[in-house]
């Protein structure tokens, strides 16, 4: 349907607001909170029937177990100050990610090894020293090169074009010749980016590292590999009691139902004079509506922005960046047990499998109250894409073999499964982060966050701190809201907005 045909079929909503935010993930809700605090009238339109986007908890109850699992974002990292502050404002408590005990490692030889540097009986490195030395050298070089970047404008580095012309995979191949070293770094990059290193430019990989900053240090410290990958002191340090989706749910409740509208999939935006019209189609049987605003925040990943219709069209560079970027491939295979039996065996629940398996990185994702035991394995990259064609039951059988291999026969007694595949979600279309293949960041990087008229862009990809994390989503949302506030100035339309919409 063309934009003109769409306009002809929609009824207009008389209300005009200062800003319409498209997307009720953390980025969109953070933008709305900032705008409301500045006494701007706001409407948040969310396509799904819930808020949170890829911050999503699944609650379950069976005859033997009940509880929740984090099917989307799980972790709050050290130095992620905005998320910690948000949790405090919403009276949510954090608890440490479980890592006490021995880690399970399968090197490329396929032999199961246990490793715990704090236990002399299991302190022997699980990989050959040659592999460890090579991996450490690669990490040191990654940190050194990343530290050279300006995290806000990485494409301005003198070597930006050189680094953006190659993939992360090609750089790794040139440095990592030992199979264990290559497999170890590969597994971690896959989990971090929900992608294959061949999908990502080397410049974006370095940008991802440098943006894992820590504001708690004086002066604030640039990111490094350890902050991305570690549990204690790193990006996986803590979790939210009751589930991470309590963050967007809490924000949405504070904003109110007059502000946050679910089941409102936006399909297009047009500009008429100084006014923006945002078009919502709910399906053939539901009413179709035009909402009006003085400005718009698109709290969507660039590839999802490119799926919308615009009149007049977005500038070619803004449109092309969304077409050139793509979403990673991400899923979670979550097995629920009556209790975390592996802890009784002195295991942390963490697994790094460098040999043949469908999941390479596994965490103990049990709730704080230990009402059940939860094992969570990431489905990423090409593996996730291959599994997309299978049913949930087929995936469960494949992953069950992995978990029995990792944890022994007790792992066979799964009480409940959650298979979450973000690639198959209509309003996600993939992993937690939009990827730049070669020759994208240097050509289009500066265009991603630049407003077009009074259309502003948000989403975790656009943050210069903790891009790809919940922290980055909140920061990007607030940055976009700041742009709207500056553009609109002190004026607003209070006589056309209900009191509830202004909190």
Token digits of residue 221: 């410290």
Cα–Cα distance measured from residue 311 to residue 319, given in angstroms and rounded to the nearest whole number = 12
Q: How far does Cα 65 stand from its chain's mean position?
A: 28
Quick check: 488 and 295 in contact, CB under 8 A?
Answer: yes
Cα angle: 374, vertex 378, 383; to 5 degrees:
140
Nearest to 338 by CA among 371, 311, 386: 371
The verdict on whether residue 378 carries a ligand-binding annotation is yes
Main-chain dihedrals φ then ψ at residue 57, nearest 5 degrees: -110, 140
Backbone torsion region of residue 346, taken as left when φ is above 0, otherwise alpha when ψ lies between -120 and 50, otherwise beta? left
**Is 95 labelled as part of a ligand binding site?**
no
Q: Partners of 416 in the beta sheet?
A: 336
Gap between the Cα atoms of 155 and 149, Å rounded: 8
Is 27 among the annotated ligand-binding positions? yes
Q: Is 241 annotated as a binding residue?
A: no
CA distance 196 to 261: 36
Identify whether the C-beta of residue 306 lies closer than 8 Å to the C-beta of residue 440: no
User: What does the radius of gyration of the chain's CA atoms come to, in whole angstroms?
Assistant: 23
The annotated binding site is made up of: 27, 46-47, 266, 378, 461
The annotated binding site for FAD is made up of: 27, 46-47, 266, 461
The annotated binding site for substrate is made up of: 378
């Amino acid at each position: 349907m063309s934009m003109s045909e769409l306009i002809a079929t929609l009824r207009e909503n008389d209300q005009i607001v200062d800003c319409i935010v498209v997307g009720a993930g953390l980025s969109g809700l953070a933008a709305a909170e900032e705008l409301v605090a500045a006494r701007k009238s706001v409407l948040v339109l969310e396509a799904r029937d819930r808020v949170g986007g890829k911050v999503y908890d699944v609650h379950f109850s069976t005859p033997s177990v009940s509880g929740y699992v984090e099917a989307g974002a799980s972790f709050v990292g050290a130095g992620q100050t905005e998320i910690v502050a948000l949790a405090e404002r919403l009276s949510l408590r954090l608890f440490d990610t479980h890592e006490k005990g021995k880690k399970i490692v399968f090197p490329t030889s396929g032999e199961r090894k246990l490793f715990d540097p704090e236990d002399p009986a299991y302190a022997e490195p699980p990989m050959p020293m040659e592999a460890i030395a090579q991996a450490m050298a690669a990490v040191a070089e990654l940190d050194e090169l990343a530290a050279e970047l300006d995290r806000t404008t990485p494409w301005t580095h003198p070597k930006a074009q050189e680094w953006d012309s190659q993939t992360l995979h090609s750089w790794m191949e040139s440095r990592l010749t030992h199979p264990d070293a290559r497999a170890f770094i590969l597994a971690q990059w896959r989990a971090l980016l929900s992608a294959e290193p061949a999908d990502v430019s080397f410049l974006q990989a370095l940008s991802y590292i440098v943006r894992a900053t820590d504001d708690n240090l004086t002066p604030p410290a640039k990111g490094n590999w350890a902050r991305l990958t570690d549990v204690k002191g790193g990006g996986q340090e803590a979790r939210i009691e009751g589930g991470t989706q309590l963050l967007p749910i809490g924000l949405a409740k504070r904003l109110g139902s007059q502000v946050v509208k679910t089941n409102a999939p936006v399909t297009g935006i047009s500009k008429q004079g100084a006014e923006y019209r945002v078009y919502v189609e709910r399906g053939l049987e539901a009413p179709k509506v035009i909402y009006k605003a003085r400005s718009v925040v698109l709290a969507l990943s660039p590839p999802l922005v490119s799926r919308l219709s615009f009149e007049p069209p977005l500038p070619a560079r803004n449109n092309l960046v969304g077409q050139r970027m793509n979403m990673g491939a991400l899923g979670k295979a979550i097995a629920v047990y009556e209790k975390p039996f592996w802890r009784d065996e002195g295991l942390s629940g963490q697994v790094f499998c460098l040999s043949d398996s469908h999941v390479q990185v596994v965490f103990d994702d049990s709730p704080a109250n230990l009402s059940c035991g939860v094992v969570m394995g990431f489905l990423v990259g090409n593996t996730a894409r291959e599994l997309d064609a299978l049913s949930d039951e087929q995936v469960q059988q494949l992953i069950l073999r992995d978990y029995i291999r990792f944890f022994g026969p007790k792992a066979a007694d799964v009480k409940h499964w959650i298979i979450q595949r973000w690639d198959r979600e209509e309003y996600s279309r993939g992993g937690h982060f939009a990827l730049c293949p070669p020759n994208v960041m240097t050509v289009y990087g500066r265009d991603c966050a630049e407003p077009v008229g009074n259309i502003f862009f948000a989403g975790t990809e656009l943050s210069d701190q903790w891009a790809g994390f919940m922290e980055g989503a909140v920061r990007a949302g607030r940055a976009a809201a700041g742009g709207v506030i500056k553009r609109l100035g002190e004026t607003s339309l209070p006589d056309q907005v209900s009191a509830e919409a202004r909190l």
